């Protein structure tokens, strides 16, 4: 017992410095000419393609820095790899916080990693703006220092279902999804919205990741003759599902996909326009990727990352970066972490010029983006839509 007590005393002694929040905490990671920002993303592993989601944000930092920074301070990003793995993500967060001593955190794809990080980051109190991961549980229940800068799963899921029901006479809706948290973050809010509107999905099917054939699911759907299909599938599986829909004569049924798929990339994967002509995706932006309103953003990315092949993901983090810079400007040169959090909580109806919906953060609600547009092919051209048949 004596030994155990000594051991615990040693533990308490060693832990003491970590538990104390010293005076310098408010301005740690700040210098007169720099604000260090920890940027976490999956730069390796199976989900490394999601690292593209951080490109827009990095390019926006570069643009701000080129224009002189914020109150004379440059935005200095310190990148760390999470590999879309919770243990590696926690290591990355702890490195950024305790070793690199960044001022704040921004970024993060992979909802599972973000969920695992939440308790640690909430405890440290560092401002963290989530710029890609969509799970609602990252920012709900409210954590004082965690802000969502993209539409969450529930916002996207509800937008998907609202679009589906905006098609006249839609009564019979089918759902196909992966059995993971990412897919459920879209499909569950979509289900809730459908039920609120008195529509129960007629068939709900699972297609696992890596599956290379969707014949069984398509034939099952054919029996139910749905008016619309909601597909919470990754891009590769979406392409397979659409291919098999066409193969079994169901290519005319519209399919609503998630923000995890890109309209034109899906077309590239299937290589057949007929398979995607009735495919719609959540599209968080004001225009098509190659549209006039998106061109300045694409040019900005290419200016700093000339080799970047633009896709939906390339732009996703720009809106939250804009809101961050706006809050930093509001705080002024006397920046502290608490002041930044207060300024972020004061962001109202912030029009980013790139996201289809504005950002609003309040002390009670840190999920900033409440809706999303939809993209689909209209007369063979990719078009951004507010509702069925209504261009944005």
Partner 1 sequence: MSTIMPSARQRSLRIWAFWAVPALLLLLPLATNAYTQFIVNGMLISVLVTLGFTLVIGNLGQLAFANTAFFGIGAYASAMLTAKFGLPWIVTIPLAGALGALGGFLASAAALRGIRSYYLAIITLAFGELMRWAYLHTKPLTGGTDGLPLPREVVFGISLSDDTLKFYIFLGVTVVLVKATLNLMRSRFGRSVMAVRENEVATASLAIPTARVILVTFIWSGFVVGCAGALFARHVGHVFPESFGMLHLIASFAMVLVGGLGSVLGAVLGAVLLTALPEYLRAFPGMEELFFGLIVAAVLVAMPMGLASLLRRLSPIFVERYYREES
Size of the site for partner 1 (CB under 8 A): 41
Q: Which stretch binds partner 1 (CB under 8 A): 9-17, 61-69, 220-228, 320-328?
A: 9-17
CB of 327 to partner 1, least distance (A): 27
The answer to whether 120 contacts partner 1 (rule: CB under 8 A) is yes
Q: Is the dihedral of CA 334, 340, 345, 349 positive or negative?
A: positive
Q: What is the largest CA-CA distance in the chain?
A: 80
How many C-beta atoms surround the C-beta of residue 321 within 10 A? Answer: 27
The answer to whether 179 contacts partner 1 (rule: CB under 8 A) is yes
Q: Which stretch binds partner 1 (CB under 8 A): 12-20, 225-233, 247-255, 300-308?
A: 12-20
Instruction: Work out which of 184, 246, 269, 283 binds partner 1, going by CB under 8 A.
Output: 184
- Integer CA distances (angstroms), 212 to 149, 230, 237, in order: 34, 19, 7
Instruction: Work out which of 14, 292, 309, 379 binds partner 1, going by CB under 8 A.
Output: 14
The answer to whether 224 contacts partner 1 (rule: CB under 8 A) is no
Instruction: Work out which of 34, 74, 76, 116 binds partner 1, going by CB under 8 A.
Output: 116
Residue with tokens 């973000």: 114
CA angle, 4 then 87 then 151, to 5° = 130
Instruction: Work out which of 115, 203, 300, 342 binds partner 1, going by CB under 8 A.
Output: 115
Instruction: Work out which of 26, 140, 181, 342 binds partner 1, going by CB under 8 A.
Output: 181
Query: Residues 6 or more apart from 22 whose CB is under 8 A from it?
Result: none
Residue with tokens 């994967």: 269
Q: Which is nearer to partner 1, 96 or 159 (CB)?
A: 96
Query: Residues 6 or more apart from 2 whose CB is under 8 A from it?
Result: none
* Contact predicate 366/356, CB 8 Å: no
Instruction: Work out which of 43, 163, 241, 392 binds partner 1, going by CB under 8 A.
Output: 43
The answer to whether 142 contacts partner 1 (rule: CB under 8 A) is no
Task: Give φ, ψ of 222 to 5 degrees.
Answer: -60, -35
CB of 30 to partner 1, least distance (A): 19
Instruction: List alpha helices for the chain, DSSP H.
Output: 2-19, 55-66, 86-94, 111-124, 153-166, 181-196, 215-224, 235-247, 263-270, 273-276, 295-304, 312-315, 318-331, 337-344
Q: Which is nearer to partner 1, 110 or 276 (CB)?
A: 110
Instruction: Work out which of 65, 137, 265, 326 binds partner 1, going by CB under 8 A.
Output: 137
The two structure tokens encoding residue 292: 């006039």
The answer to whether 143 contacts partner 1 (rule: CB under 8 A) is no
Instruction: Identify the CA nearest to 138 among candidates 206, 207, 89.
Output: 89
CB of 156 to partner 1, least distance (A): 17
Q: Which is nearer to partner 1, 18 or 212 (CB)?
A: 18
Q: How far apart are CA 315 and CA 317, in angstroms?
A: 6
The answer to whether 123 contacts partner 1 (rule: CB under 8 A) is yes
The answer to whether 119 contacts partner 1 (rule: CB under 8 A) is yes
72-111 positions binding partner 1, by CB under 8 A: 79-81, 85-88, 90-92, 94-95, 97-99
Q: Which is nearer to partner 1, 304 or 377 (CB)?
A: 304
The answer to whether 180 contacts partner 1 (rule: CB under 8 A) is yes
Q: Could you give the dihedral angle defined by the CA atoms of residues 95, 140, 108 and 20, in that order, rounded to the nearest 10 degrees?
A: -10
Query: Residues 6 or more apart from 248 whose CB is under 8 A from it?
Result: 215, 218, 219, 222
- Residue numbers at the binding site for partner 1 (CB under 8 A): 7-8, 10-12, 14-15, 18-19, 43-45, 79-81, 85-88, 90-92, 94-95, 97-99, 112, 115-116, 119-120, 123, 135, 137, 179-184
């Amino acid at each position: 017992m004596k030994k155990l007590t000594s051991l615990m005393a040693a533990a308490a002694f060693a832990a003491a410095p970590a538990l104390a929040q010293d005076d310098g905490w408010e301005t740690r990671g700040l210098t007169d000419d720099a604000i260090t920002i920890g940027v976490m993303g999956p730069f390796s592993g199976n989900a490394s393609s999601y690292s593209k989601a951080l490109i827009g944000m990095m390019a926006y930092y570069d643009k701000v820095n080129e224009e002189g920074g914020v109150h004379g301070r440059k935005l200095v990003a310190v990148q760390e790899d999470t590999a879309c793995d919770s243990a590696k993500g926690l290591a990355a967060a702890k490195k950024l916080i305790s070793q690199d001593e960044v001022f704040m955190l921004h970024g993060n794809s992979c909802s599972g990693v973000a969920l695992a990080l939440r308790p640690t980051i909430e405890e440290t109190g560092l401002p963290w703006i989530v710029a890609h991961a969509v799970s609602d549980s990252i920012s709900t229940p409210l954590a004082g220092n965690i802000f969502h800068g993209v539409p969450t799963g529930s916002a996207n899921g509800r937008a998907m279902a609202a679009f589906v029901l905006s098609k006249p006479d839609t009564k019979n809706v089918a759902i196909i999804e992966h059995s993971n948290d990412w897919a459920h973050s879209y499909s569950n809010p979509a289900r809730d919205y459908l039920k609120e509107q008195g529509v129960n999905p007629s068939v709900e099917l699972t297609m696992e990741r890596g599956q290379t054939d969707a014949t069984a699911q398509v034939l099952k759907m054919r029996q139910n003759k749905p008016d619309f299909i909601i597909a919470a599938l990754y891009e590769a599986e979406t392409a397979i599902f659409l291919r098999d829909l066409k193969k079994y004569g169901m290519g005319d049924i519209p399919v609503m996909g998630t923000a995890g798929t890109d309209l034109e990339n899906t077309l590239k994967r299937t290589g057949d326009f007929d398979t995607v002509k009735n495919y719609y995706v959540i599209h968080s932006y004001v225009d098509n990727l190659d549209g006039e309103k998106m061109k300045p953003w694409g040019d900005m990315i290419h200016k700093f990352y000339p080799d970047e092949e633009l896709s939906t993901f390339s732009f996703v983090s720009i809106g939250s970066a804009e809101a961050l810079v706006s809050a930093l400007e509001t705080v002024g040169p006397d920046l502290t972490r608490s002041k930044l959090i207060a300024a972020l909580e004061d962001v109202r109806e912030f029009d980013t010029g790139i996201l289809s919906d504005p950002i609003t953060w309040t002390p009670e609600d840190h999920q900033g983006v409440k809706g999303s547009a939809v993209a689909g092919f209209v007369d063979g051209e990719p078009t951004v839509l507010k509702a069925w048949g209504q261009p944005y």
